[in-house]
Amino acid sequence: MEDNAQPKKKAPNGDYEVGYCRPPTKHRFKPGEVHNRRGRPRRRQTFSDALRKELAGKVTIRIDDTIVQVTKAVAIAQILLDKFAKGDAATRRLVFKLSQEFDRETTKEQNPTLSGVWTIPDDFDEAVDAAYKAERKRDPRGDEHELRGRAQQQALLAVGQPNNPGDSGRTRRPRRY
């Protein structure tokens, strides 16, 4: 038996002309007839799809005395970097924000396990130690691990990092035990 063989249809048993598995002849599919003329509807285009398509389009620009045809994305990048070089503050903020997004995207592509991971600031250890001392002073007989965990949560809030890498960036108040 072949691997791609389809199971055979149940043949109707009986000597009737119309009934189970035997539709009337004028309602049967005719050979070569298309049954779904319009076909499956296309997927709706999202904003990011439209933007990606437009950024891939070509545009003609002049650099010095030469006329060059580049993609719209490259043209936008050149304009942004020109304004950045001239010292435009708003463009500087935008370029830094875009470079961070680009770094985040390349990190996700290169190592998917690191996606959403944030870097620990330099003053994090100092913030943890200060929070731990405050927790130890407040609860001298508390469990070491529990106090250290609470201190780390408070330090995360102090340095403005999310409680875990999957957070959207908003901070939470530490739980009270």
Looking at 67, 89, 114, the residue that finishes a domain is: 114
Domain assignment present for 24: no
Looking at 114, 136, 165, the residue that finishes a domain is: 114
- Token pair, residue 23, equals 């539709």
Question: At residue 146, what is the residue type?
Answer: E
Total domains in the chain come to 2
Domain assignment present for 94: yes
Verify that 109 and 143 share a domain, yes or no. Answer: no
Q: Between 154 and 58, where is the model more confident?
A: 58
Structural domain for 155, as ranges: 118-177
What are the DSSP E strand ranges found in the chain?
58-63, 66-71
Q: pLDDT category, 71, cuts 50, 70, 90?
A: very high
- Token pair, residue 118, equals 């944030």
pLDDT of 2 higher than 60: no
Gap between the Cα atoms of 130 and 125, Å rounded: 9
Verify that 157 and 124 share a domain, yes or no. Answer: yes
Gap between the Cα atoms of 79 and 63, Å rounded: 11
Domain assignment present for 166: yes
Predicted local confidence at residue 127, as pLDDT: 77
